[in-house]
Amino acid sequence: MTPTHCPYCALQCGMNLTSVPDSSNDGNGGGVVEVTERADFPVNRGALCGKGRTAPALLSSGVRLTTPLIRSDGALRPATWDEALDRIADGLSRTRTEHGPDACGVFGGGGLTNEKAYTLGKFARVVLGTSQIDYNGRFCMSSAAAGGIRAFGLDRGLPFPLEDIPKTGCVILVGSNLAETMPPALRYLTELRDNGGKLIVIDPRRTRTAEQADLHLAPRPGTDLALALGLLHLVVAEGRTDEAYIQERTSGWEEARAAAMAHWPEYVERITGVSVPELRETVRMFCETESAMVLTARGPEQQSKGTDTVGAWINLCLATGRPGRPNSGYGCLTGQGNGQGGREHGQKADQLPGYRKLDDPAARRHVAEVWGVDPDSLPGPGRSAYELLDAMGTDIHALLLMASNPVVSAPRAAHIEERLRSLDFLAVADVVLSETAELADVVLPVAQWAEETGTTTNLEGRVLLRRQAITPPDGIRSDLHVMHELAARLGVEKGFPTDPEEVFEELRRASAGGPADYSGITYRRLAEENGVFWPCPAAPTTTTTGTGTGPLKSAATEEAPHTVVPDATAANRPGAELPVTGAGEVHPGTPRLFLDRFATPDGRARFVAVNHRPSAEEPDAEYPVLLTTGRVVSQYQSGAQTRRVDELNAAAPGPFVELHPRLAERLGAVEGEPLAIVSRRGRAVAPARITTTIRPDTVFMPFHWPGEGRANTLTNPALDPISRMPEFKTCAVRVERAS
């Protein structure tokens, strides 16, 4: 029995795996894997959703890739590993020679382990010399990250563990349907209410999560910013601000207050559709408790004004004295399995390992020293995810893509599919033949979660060890092996090990002193503990920092404040052992951030004045309805994996369009009838699902399916100016009977 973690969402639920020999494999490795409860892991305490329980189904040779594929005469055919790797190396090398390094793009995924994400970023910058790298996590929580850094100086999905949620007095949950996206986490909201706390859910649909709420607000999609500003207006008008906290722990209040006061309740009601009495009741519930939290997810974040929207919710928390206090504050519910760690260590266009900024000279020097290269050889920041994909076939001629399926998941997906087809060369490494892999010139079959060891970082900032339980079948290689072999073929013989622990040891050194400092974490610790929260420096010292990250008190030990250090730590030595203090203690990690001060130069949280503005695309006479998108409980992200599991397909067999009976009546539509949803970018067709749980001016589609029901054919790629997040959550459409 192997204790490990689920491969899907950012909860990274604990589970045990038991391998049972499978005679059908004929000695080809692998086996039948059974999932059993792992009650000792504190996040899920044994509970698993259907996706987690059925995850081993993807290990079967019947649904996965088992041999490299090469395009020949327009079709993919089986090939040897050497043939496939040579073809990729030749395609990338030829592109660099003919068009320059930045003509090579690299696109990663939020499901890659920390070791793979770290190596992919290093491969792009050291081997290819390209600035053109980003990952699908940009589509997840980039707006929350930008808002958190702007306000607190540091972003970690949740700055406190999930276990704090039931202890608070009130939670405002904005744009999240935990009951379907992270079912094991719903227990925290149930326990909150059992403890006498209140739950407010903000969502244009009355979801299964909203059914649990004491108060459900259903704003018009794209108006979350106005809603947050209206609530802050009432907090000020009713004298509910925490003036002592504002004076002692924040800056920028006067400007933020003035902006909020321009959003009076009746004005906000007209914009959002949320009544003034509902606004006042929300403020009362949120303010009349000693502790409270705001948790946001993709609803407010996947907008062209997502960073400002997150900022408005943070302002509400700061004005009422919540962040940095026990059982209180603002947090973001990360979506993808390693969306947090994936961007901390180098997949993101503007970041280096340890959450360092690529344009920071000190950060470049530190990481370059670990990598053994000249800092000046590292390229600068590149394009964000959508901009990178949009440049394919023009500025970008070749793409190496790992663990992502943008043909289904990217906004304006038909355009992105056309851009992929226009590439001179496309290589994909994945576990299944996704819709994107079907377009590739070379496809590499790589190992899965249960077949290899590596670390992930969950939505709490808890670094976890995912252990290998079975041997991958013959013909399957790891992503680390792929990058090692490609680097060698492209002239870099050293620096790309295939052993994940060796990679993690280098990651520790590269992250040391950065905001996301992992230098005090080792595989040995992770094997013995239920995860370690970053930042976890190699020693709990107090020093100055060259990265602008202020002291963060560790609630685990109530020790003196410490800062992360940019260099000169024990972890900078190759093969450094578990760091200890003079008393023989290790740094415990930091489960709760900001208890003493925020990670800004002056230690104060920063209010940011924001104002409501319309969505990039508002309804008009031609496109009079709003579309919003989301997920269902039995499918995950682009569905590339879950759509291959019979049990999950039986529960969620295909796309649908959710609409209110009043809209259905105007159209003459009936339950189950195909409806066409048309935007300025394309047309999708799916059966009608008529329900009173959605606003009459809005339709909803899940985005897990390709083909004519592909929701992202319709979505708007308008980008947030700071986070570069596309506006997935709202666009103007018209609805027609498909017949």
Q: Where are the domains of the chain?
A: 2-59, 69-139+338-449+476-499, 158-332, 625-737
In the chain, what is the greatest distance between 2 CA atoms, to the nearest angstrom? 76
- Mean confidence (pLDDT) of the chain: 92
Contact 450, 468 (CB under 8 A): yes
| Secondary structure letter of residue 441 according to DSSP | S
On the 0-12 / 13-18 / 19+ scale of CB atoms within 10 A, 646 is exposed
Contact 199, 286 (CB under 8 A): no
Q: Percentage of residues in the chain with pLDDT exceeding 70?
A: 92
Tokens of 377: 């050889």
What mean pLDDT is predicted for residues 289-295?
98
Which of 508, 495, 494, 401 is closest to 446 using CA atoms? 401
Lowest mean pLDDT among 168-172, 474-478, 581-585, 630-634: 581-585
Other CB atoms within 10 A of residue 493 CB: 10
On the 0-12 / 13-18 / 19+ scale of CB atoms within 10 A, 494 is exposed
Residues 6+ away with beta carbon under 8 Å from 276: 265, 266, 269
Residue range 158-332 in CATH 3.20.20.70: no
Please report the pLDDT score of residue 21 as a whole number: 67
Match 């590739």 to its residue by tokens. 440
What mean pLDDT is predicted for residues 23-48?
78
pTM of the model: 0.93
pLDDT tens per residue across span 594-623: 999 999 999 999 999 999 999 999 999 999
Residue 58 has pLDDT above 60, yes or no: yes
Compute the distance between CA of residue 588 and CA of residue 695 in angstroms, rounded to an integer. 47
What mean pLDDT is predicted for residues 301-309?
97
Q: How many CA atoms lie within 13 A of 453 on its CB side?
A: 16
Residue 432 has pLDDT above 90, yes or no: yes
Please report the pLDDT score of residue 335 as a whole number: 83
pLDDT tens per residue across span 86-145: 999 999 999 999 999 999 999 999 999 999 999 999 999 999 999 999 999 999 989 999
Compute the distance between CA of residue 518 and CA of residue 505 in angstroms, rounded to an integer. 10
Pairing mode, if any, of strands 625-630 and 293-296?
A: unpaired
Residues 6+ away with beta carbon under 8 Å from 540: 554, 557, 559, 560, 562, 581, 585, 587
Q: How many CA atoms lie within 13 A of 689 on its CB side?
A: 13
CA dihedral 364, 366, 367, 371 (to 10 degrees): 120
Compute the distance between CA of residue 207 and CA of residue 205 in angstroms, rounded to an integer. 6
Match 């579309």 to its residue by tokens. 627
Backbone angles phi, psi at 90, to 5 degrees: -65, -45
Tokens of 47: 């509970």
What mean pLDDT is predicted for residues 423-430?
98
Residue 575 has pLDDT above 90, yes or no: no
Residue 520 has pLDDT above 90, yes or no: yes
Compute the distance between CA of residue 316 and CA of residue 321 in angstroms, rounded to an integer. 9
Tokens of 264: 């009076």
Please report the pLDDT score of residue 481 as a whole number: 98
Contact 463, 518 (CB under 8 A): yes
| Secondary structure letter of residue 160 according to DSSP | S
Backbone angles phi, psi at 33, to 5 degrees: -110, 130
Match 């744009």 to its residue by tokens. 175
Contact 91, 398 (CB under 8 A): yes
Letter for the amino acid at 590?
T
Report, at the CATH architecture level, how domain 625-737 is classified: Beta Barrel (2.40)
What mean pLDDT is predicted for residues 49-67?
94
pLDDT tens per residue across span 229-245: 999 999 999 999 999 99
pLDDT tens per residue across span 277-288: 999 999 999 999
Helix, strand, coil content of the chain in percent (nearest 5): 35, 20, 45
DSSP string, 27-59: TSS--EEEEE--TT-TTTTT---HHHHTGGGGG
Backbone angles phi, psi at 620, to 5 degrees: -145, -170
Give ∠ CA 434-440-442 in degrees, rounded to 5: 110
Contact 12, 464 (CB under 8 A): yes
Residue 397 has pLDDT above 90, yes or no: yes
Tokens of 31: 């086996």
Residue range 2-59 in CATH 2.20.25: yes
Edge-to-edge strand ranges of the sheet holding 442-445: 75-78, 69-72, 442-445, 425-430, 398-402, 104-108, 133-135
Contact 516, 344 (CB under 8 A): yes
Which has more confidence, 566 or 343?
343
What mean pLDDT is predicted for residues 405-428?
98
Show the beta-strand stretches assigned E in 467-571: 532-533
With residue 428 as reference, give the H or E element that holds it: strand 425-430
With residue 316 as reference, give the H or E element that holds it: helix 306-319
> How many residues are given for the chain?
739
Tokens of 302: 């996947």
pLDDT tens per residue across span 59-94: 988 899 999 999 999 999 999 999 999 999 999 999
Residue 589 has pLDDT above 50, yes or no: yes
CATH of region 69-139+338-449+476-499: 3.40.50.740
Backbone angles phi, psi at 122, to 5 degrees: -65, -40
With residue 368 as reference, give the H or E element that holds it: helix 361-371
Provide Rg for the chain, Cα atoms.
25
Show the beta-strand stretches assigned E in 601-703: 605-606, 625-630, 657-659, 674-679, 682-690, 698-702
Looking at the DSSP bridge assignments, the partners of residue 76 are 71
Show the beta-strand stretches assigned E in 269-344: 293-296, 329-332
Compute the distance between CA of residue 109 and CA of residue 133 in angstroms, rounded to an integer. 11
Please report the pLDDT score of residue 20 as a whole number: 78
